[in-house]
Amino acid sequence: MKLLVATGNRGKIKEIEHELAVAGLLAKGVELLGLKDLPPGWVDVVEDRPTFVGNALKKARHFAQISGLLTLADDSGLCVEALGGAPGVLSARYAGEPCDNAANNAKLLRAMDGVPEEKRQAKFVCAMALATPQADLAVMVDEVHGVILRQERGTHGFGYDPLFYFPELGMTTAELPMDKKSGISHRGKALRRMLGWMQEHWPELERL
């Protein structure tokens, strides 16, 4: 079974591949593909929905129809309380196009300059959707809470990971090893819920 993950972000694909292996789905013959594995000439999707769920569903439907494959898509981002929930669905493009992690982090630090320690709460949110060319199959949403630091820490992960701090762990997301990050991250939690759904519906998926 080929499963297309609707992203060109190798960091996301690596995280998802890790969870597929843990869940035993790679052993069942699931072959994981990313957008870079599609033939050239495909048209990207405009992520213009106002919610993470809306964007995840739009991406899953779009790339399932383009590829003809079972497609998993997510929309995830950072929501900072002191910024009214920003950058939210614009997280990847917070500093403008094209996506630039360093520029996004720099803009976030500027926006948070002067915000006191007790008001730097934030959450990562992930909505994950699974679709075939004919239908939407499932949607899962999860989140994780932390605070925004005043400077980056750690070299693992991607995006806002170096600034997202877990007080209970004393570490940022970018300081966590892959297995630890996957165990507590918003994407890891949403993905495990989705993989649980896939395992429960495995006979139907094999017939697709």
What's the rounded Cα separation, in Å, for the pair 122 and 86? 10
Closest to 195 (Cα-Cα) out of 107, 143, 130, 127: 130
3-state helix, strand, coil in the chain (%, to 5): 45, 25, 35
- Give the torsion through C-alpha atoms of 143, 144, 150, 154, to 10 deg: -110
Closest to 108 (Cα-Cα) out of 98, 126, 97, 120: 120
What's the rounded Cα separation, in Å, for the pair 11 and 15? 6
Residue 136 annotated to the active site: no
Q: Of these residues, 37, 44, 74, 75, which one is catalytic?
A: 75
Pairing of strands 2-5, 136-148: unpaired
Residues assigned a catalytic role: 75
